[in-house]
């Protein structure tokens, strides 16, 4: 029987740091005709990766496909730790599995201090541009839309989420036990979550598919939406 919105496994899409459902808008639009597609609109007051995962599980269908971007990839792995039987397939997009690295806290708190002293606009102006492959800055509306989304999330959310990231649990040991169809993907020009990092993640997960999207940085969903959507559609066919 072919998939229909009523019969196909629902898809949950998890955003990253100071992002919300808008980061997944192209994929929701492209994929929702084939199945129920739900982009989580942030994590509210959750201040730990575990609390974010519990929030996702409380809102999720009984069984679902799960894709997480950046911090959302770490939330997705925490969902796998807590309820692997509910996840039919997993996509880890522009993310990481390492524990905090030296000087990571310094960098994140320096941005927070900038936001406290100069406002959220100044924080975004420093944080956002390196997240996007520079030629894509010229795409009409792309940077304005990303900037507005991050601004709407606000300084308090940034602080909660960086504290959650700095206290993140170990997840590398989970990778070898993942048994569902898994996609690992990033942008070829993602300097924050580079291809080599994703090659290692894919190698650790049995049967994982690795996709490196050309001409994309960290905000891959909106930088090269068609390419990422195609990778997700192919992954969903394996469910």
What would the pLDDT profile of 94-122 be if each residue is shown by its tens digit?
A: 999 999 999 999 999 999 999 999 999 99
207 pLDDT exceeds 60?
A: yes
CATH tag for 1-239 (out of 3.40.50.1820, 3.40.50.300, 3.30.70.120, 3.60.21.10) = 3.40.50.1820
Q: What is the largest CA-CA distance in the chain?
A: 58
1 pLDDT exceeds 60?
A: no
- Domain regions of the chain by residue span: 1-239
CA-to-CA dists, residue 126 to 69, 104, 115, 122, angstroms = 20, 16, 10, 6
pTM of the predicted model, to two decimals? 0.96
What would the pLDDT profile of 122-143 be if each residue is shown by its tens digit?
A: 999 999 999 999 999 999 999 9
- For residue 182, the SS3 value is strand
Q: What angle do CA 196, 82, 84 make, to 5 degrees?
A: 70
**Sheet containing 209-213, strands listed edge to edge, beginning at the edge strand earlier in sequence:** 37-39, 11-14, 64-69, 87-93, 182-187, 209-213
Give the pLDDT mean for 40-56.
Answer: 97
């Amino acid at each position: 029987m072919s998939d229909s919105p009523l019969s196909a496994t629902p898809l949950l899409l998890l955003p990253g740091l100071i992002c919300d459902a808008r980061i997944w808008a192209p994929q929701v639009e492209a994929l929702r005709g084939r199945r129920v597609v739900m982009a989580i609109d942030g994590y509210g007051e959750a201040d730990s990766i575990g609390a974010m995962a519990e929030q996702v599980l409380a809102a999720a269908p009984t069984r679902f496909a799960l894709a997480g971007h950046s911090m959302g990839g770490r939330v997705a792995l925490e969902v796998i730790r807590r309820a692997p039987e509910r996840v039919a397939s997993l996509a880890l997009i522009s993310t990481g599995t390492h524990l905090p690295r030296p000087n990571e806290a310094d960098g994140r708190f320096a941005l927070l201090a900038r936001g406290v002293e100069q406002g959220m606009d100044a924080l975004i102006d420093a944080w956002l541009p390196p997240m996007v492959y520079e030629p894509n800055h010229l795409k009409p509306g792309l940077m304005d839309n990303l900037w507005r989304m991050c601004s709407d999330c606000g300084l308090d959310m940034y602080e909660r989420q960086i504290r959650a990231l700095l206290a993140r649990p170990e997840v590398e040991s989970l990778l070898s036990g993942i048994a569902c169809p898994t996609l690992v993907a990033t942008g070829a020009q993602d300097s924050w979550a580079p291809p080599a990092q994703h090659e290692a993640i894919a190698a650790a997960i049995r049967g994982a598919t690795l996709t490196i999207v050309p001409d994309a940085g960290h905000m891959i969903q909106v930088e090269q939406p068609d390419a990422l959507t195609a990778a997700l559609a192919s992954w969903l066919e394996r469910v």
